[in-house]
Amino acid sequence: MLMFKKGQICLARFNLMRFFSNESMASPIVAVKQGKLKGSVKTLLDGKPYYSFKGIRYGQPPVGKLRFKAPLPVKPWDGILEAIEHGSVCPQLDLLAGDLKEGNEDCLFLNVYTKSLEPSSKTPALVYIHGGGYMSGSGNCDTYGPEFLFLHNVILVTINFRLEALGFLCLDTPEVPGNAGMKDQVLALRWVKENIDKFGGDPENITIMGESAGAASVTFHMLSDMSKGLFHKAIAQSGVALVDWSLGHRSVERAFRLGKALGKETKNADELLEFLQKIPAIDLAGATRKTRTPDECFRGLSIFFTPVVEKRLDGVEHFLTEEPINLLLEGKVSKVPLLIGYNSREGILIAPDTLKKNKVINETPSFLVPRQAKLKISEEKLKEFGDRIKSFYVGKKDFEIKTADAISNLQTDLHFSYEIQRFINFYHKYAPVYFYKFDYDTDLNIPKSLVGLDLTGASHADDLFYFFYNMINKDYYHNQEKLQKIVYQLTKFWTEFARTGNPSAEGINWPLYTPSGGEYMLLNEQLSVESHADKERMDFWNKLYRDAGLPIALKSSI
């Protein structure tokens, strides 16, 4: 028998403990309810470690006869699954590059990033839903890295879900009632609620957060019975369920147009489903443009495979069965604190598309009338409304490069700002609302820099690069102390809201929104509380909606 002195035994114990500590740090293992996962350790901006669990399957592969259908929960597994790399992204049309990403329709994966694995940590959890018009994107860290948010104490979960036709085909049948992509999101939220404590999170303090279509998704979850109890706060950046581009219209007709475009002309839903379930998934990517009507080529944004109001069907768990505006008016919402806003020049990103179509739009400005208003008025009124819109934004001029500034404002209001203000004016009576207008204009405004228009303010999607660390913005961030301070301040607001339901932080108090005061935080380098954002433009749209017979929040102005 080997003999050791007392000091040697203590040293041996220390080295053994250090070995096992380093081993668990290098290959952290977490036991979720479905089985064990092995993650990895990454490095924060301050050099400290955090835990990364990528490519966690939350749903069974929605392939074959399960294509287009509601997702099924992942089955338990034996052994230890590696959660080192991201899972597959959904097949999609890359909106920036314009080419197809093959991906895989087996794409129901999520990612969890955390600084502590102690269940006692009770860390607030942010679940981020990506944008991309319901037809592109993923939760992967090449865009949505956690390092900026991890300047503060939160957990970040990012998710993939089915996109475009794969996620939003609707046949009004029990097999394909629509909203499969939204039901993917619900299944992911159920997984988070069930397992986030294993990653040091608090299942009673979950905030859902999204941008663009992800923000609209957030507000849909606020309106859906399926999502009740799965989150406690909501952050919506540049999108709501009320806007035309976020809610499907005549979706069954669109499904049959898709079948015809892909080679199957039929009036039978079962035949169509059988055909669409057999073709390669990549053939369904880019389906949006294949199904446009002549009117849709010029009216609104080309986003058509989206959430829908489902037909009530026996034996189906529905995500949405009433119009969003009616649910809001009736108070059928999850009454949770809401942080919501938009970028000052959302429309910069859309302006080039408007300029391409400007000849048609100048000749027929009625294409500028939102679909929901168009459906309420006569052809004569439609022309009058179009003329009113054009006159308000450019007077007697035309939409052209010289009026790009006005085009930007028009597209901001038409697709984002008005419906966001309309939403909060209906919602504020149910729960606290904190409203903002994002107006930073720095080197982190990456999307705006790609457009090439010399306009001030923040374009659509510019805000993402202040909240998520990635290969595109990292050099700007590291080389400019000013940007580091801005990022810290913004992420502090967001994470404080996730923690407490109030974004006030760093000695800056956010006011609650009221319709009478129109209070909002102007997010720029001065940081100021202002009233009635873009009031003159909001008054214009308020009157237009009232004249169309659409519900508005106030009789006089917003």
Active site residues: 212, 346, 460
d(CA 46, CA 475): 15
Type of residue at 105: E
435, β-bridge pairs: 340
Q: Whats the size of the chain, residue-wise?
A: 558
Q: What is the DSSP string of 257-326?
A: HHHHHTT---S-HHHHHHHHHHS-GGGGTTHHHHT--TGGGTSS-S--S----PPP-TT---S--S-HHH
Contact 82, 57 (CB under 8 A): no
Burial tier of 356 (Cβ tally within 10 Å: 0-12, 13-18, 19+)? exposed
d(CA 37, CA 55): 10
d(CA 128, CA 217): 10
Alpha-carbon dihedral angle through residues 187, 192, 194, 197, given to the nearest 10 degrees:
180
For β-strands 528-531 and 519-523, DSSP reports them as: antiparallel
Contact 100, 92 (CB under 8 A): yes
Report helix, strand or coil for 211: strand
Residue 459 DSSP code: B
Residue 229's alpha-carbon distances to 49, 201, 220, 223, 382, in angstroms, are 32, 16, 14, 12, 42
Burial tier of 524 (Cβ tally within 10 Å: 0-12, 13-18, 19+)? middle
Report helix, strand or coil for 73: strand
424: its two tokens: 């909060």
Helix (DSSP H) and strand (DSSP E) numbers for the chain: 19, 16
For β-strands 49-57 and 40-43, DSSP reports them as: antiparallel
d(CA 216, CA 211): 8
Q: Which of 262, 102, 239 is nearest to 169 (CA)?
A: 262
Residue 410 DSSP code: H
Contact 189, 203 (CB under 8 A): no
2-15 as b/e: b if 16+ CB within 10 A: eeeeeeeeeeeeee
Q: What is the DSSP string of 108-144?
A: -EEEEEES---GGG-EEEEEEE--STTTS--S-TTT-
359: its two tokens: 């000849």
